[in-house]
Structure 1
Amino acid sequence: MGMSLLPEQRVLTTLHTVALAVQALVRTGVPAAQVLEGSGIDEADLASPARLVSHAQELRVLANAYGYSRDAALGLSLGKGMHVSAYGILGYTMLASRTLGEALQLAVAHPALLGTYFQLSLQTVGDEVRLSADGYRYAPEMTVFNTELCLASLLTVVQDLLGEAVRPRRLLLGYRSPLHAASYGEKLGCPVEFAAGSNALCFNPALLDRPLRLADPVSHQQGLQQCLQLEAQFYSRQDLCELIRQQLASDLCHCTSLERVAARLHRSARTLRRHLQQLNTSFQLLLDEVRYDKARQLLIHTDLPIYLIAEQLGYSETASFRHAFQRWSGLAPSNFRR
Structure 2
Amino acid sequence: MDISVVVPLYNEAESLPELTDWIRRVMVAHNFSYEIILVDDGSKDTSWSVILDLKQQHEQISGIKFRRNYGKSAALNVGFAAAQGEVVITMDADLQDSPDEIPELYDRVMNQGADLVSGWKQKRYDPITKTIPTKLFNAVTRAMSGINNLHDFNCGLKAYKKDVVKSIEVYGEMHRYIPVIAKWAGFSNIQEQVVQHYPRKYGTTKFGAGRFVKGFLDLMSIFFVGKFGKRPMHFFGPIGVISFLIGFFITIYLISEKLMSIASGSVYRNVTDQPLFYLSLLAIMIGTQLFLTGFIAELLSRNSSERNKYQIERVV
Q: Same fold (TM over 0.5)?
A: no
Structure of larger gyration radius: 2
Q: TM-score, normalised by structure 1?
A: 0.27
The answer to which structure has the higher helix fraction is: 1
